[in-house]
């Protein structure tokens, strides 16, 4: 455990890496928001046409050092999804504190498309601009899921959460929770600009193949 913490501290103490990572986050997320704005508009219209309700879904997630923030996503479920969660607990297909169903009845038709293409995650570019997230880093868990993690598992909070990570390019929904944790800690041990760039490029490939997405 001490080894992971020391690696995280050493990575963050490298001023060059820290500055370059933040510059990359700001430049890339701002450019993506500008280029993808027509897609944002089309998705917003599609969500409104299928199911009346907010276009953006916000949820408390746990970030670096345990700080809670509101993460943004395009709404992919019906507006009463959170209320219906307790009815579906017996069908949970994920392990650990996670909750996942392949054919979740709460997901709208538009929602299935934007999930498979990962378009639903794009509003998190705003979280990146705000400094709450990074392009690359452990995916932020819902706060009540993170609260169920052990001290060992909570080491993933030593760095900023990200839009993509090793887990995202290594099976995503097909990955167990223990494997997810080990991938996050592997990233923390080996943080570098080159690793970040490789993960971003791999993410593009995974998004187009829809591997492990539902």
**Type and span of the H or E element at 57:** strand 56-62
Which stretches in the chain have pLDDT values below 50?
none
What is the b/e burial string over 107-145, where b = at least 16 CB atoms within 10 angstroms of the residue's CB? bbebbeebbebbbbbbbbbebbeeebbbbbbbbbbeeeb
Residue 169: predicted pLDDT: 87
Residue 9: predicted pLDDT: 57
Q: What is the dihedral of CA 175, 109, 125, 135, to 10 degrees?
A: 20
Q: Can you give the pTM of this predicted structure?
A: 0.88
Residue 8: predicted pLDDT: 59
Residue 5: predicted pLDDT: 62
Residue 12: predicted pLDDT: 54
Residue 49: predicted pLDDT: 94
pLDDT tens across 144-202, in order?
999 999 999 999 999 999 999 998 888 666 778 999 999 999 999 999 999 999 999 99
Distance of alpha carbon 144 from alpha carbon 5, whole angstroms: 23
Distance of alpha carbon 22 from alpha carbon 86, whole angstroms: 39
């Amino acid at each position: 455990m001490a080894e992971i913490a020391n690696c995280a501290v050493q990575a963050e103490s490298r001023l060059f890496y820290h500055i370059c990572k933040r510059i990359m986050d700001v430049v890339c997320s701002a450019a993506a928001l500008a280029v993808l704005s027509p897609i944002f508009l089309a998705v917003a219209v599609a969500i409104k046409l299928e199911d009346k309700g907010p276009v953006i879904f916000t949820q408390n997630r746990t970030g670096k050092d345990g700080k809670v923030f509101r993460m943004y996503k395009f709404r992919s479920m019906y507006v009463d999804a959170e209320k219906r969660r307790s009815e579906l607990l017996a069908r949970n297909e994920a392990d650990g504190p996670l909750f996942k169903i392949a054919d979740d009845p709460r997901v709208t038709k538009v929602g299935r498309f934007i999930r498979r293409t990962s378009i639903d995650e794009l509003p998190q570019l705003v979280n990146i601009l705000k400094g709450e997230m990074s392009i690359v880093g452990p995916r932020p868990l819902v706060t009540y899921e993170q609260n169920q993690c052990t001290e060992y598992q909570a080491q993933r909070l030593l760095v900023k959460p990200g839009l993509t990570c090793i887990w995202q390019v290594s099976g995503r929904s097909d990955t167990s929770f223990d494997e997810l944790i080990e991938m996050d800690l592997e990233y923390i041990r080996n943080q570098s600009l080159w690793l970040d760039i490789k993960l971003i490029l791999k993410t593009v490939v995974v998004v187009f193949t829809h591997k492990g997405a539902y």
